[in-house]
Amino acid sequence: MKEEPCECPDCQRFYKEHDRLIREFPTFKQQQELNWASIQSFRTLCSKVTEELQKQLSEKNITGDSLEKNEHICDKEITDAIDELENVNAYLYSIEALMERIFDIKISENIELKFKKISKMLAPDPLNIDRLILNRLFHQTPDLPDKNNFK
Ligand SMILES: [Zn+2]
C-alpha cells in the first residue's frame, strides 16, 4: 500500500520548500554550501539573542529594574529563554562539527551531473515551459490565447 502525502497546510508548505531547495540547489556542492550557511546563520542569530538577553538580565540586576519598565519581558521569561537557547546553541555546535566533515567531501564533475539529473526528476520546475505545455494538453484548454500562434 502506497502512503499518500499529507494534505495539511504545514506539510504542503514543507513539501513545497523541500522541492524548492532541491530545484534551486541541485548539486552536491550547492547543498553543502546551503546547509552550511543555514546552520551558521541559525547559530549566529541564536548566539546574538542569547548574548543580548544575558546583557539585559545583568543590566536589570545592576539598575534594579528602573530602566526596563518599557520592556515587556519578565525575568522568568528571559532566564527560561536563555536556558533553552543555550541548549539550542550547544546542539547547533554539534551539528556544525558534523557539517564540517560533510563540507570536506568533494564530488567529481560526473557525479555532480548525476545530482543535477536526479534533482530534476525529484523536483521538476513547476514553471518549466515543457511542463506548462504538458499541463495545457492534459487540461485541454483550447481557448488559450497563444494557442492560435501555433496554427
Ligand atoms: Zn500534515
Across all residues in the chain, what is the average pLDDT? 83
Joined together, the cell numbers standing for residue 114 give 548525476
Q: How far is the CA of 15 from the centre of ligand 1 (A)?
A: 10
CA of 7 from ligand 1 middle (Å) equals 6
Q: Which amino acid is at 35?
A: N
Q: If DSSP states are collapsed to H, E and C, what string results for 72-87?
A: CCCHHHHHHHHHHHHH
pLDDT of residue 123: 86
Q: State pLDDT tens for residues 72-100.
A: 678 899 999 999 999 999 999 999 999 99
C-alpha of residue 14 to centroid of ligand 1, in Å: 9
Residue 33 confidence (pLDDT) above 80: yes
Centroid of ligand 1 to alpha carbon of 103 (angstroms) = 32
Q: Which of 103, 110, 104, 118 is nearest to 33 (CA)?
A: 103
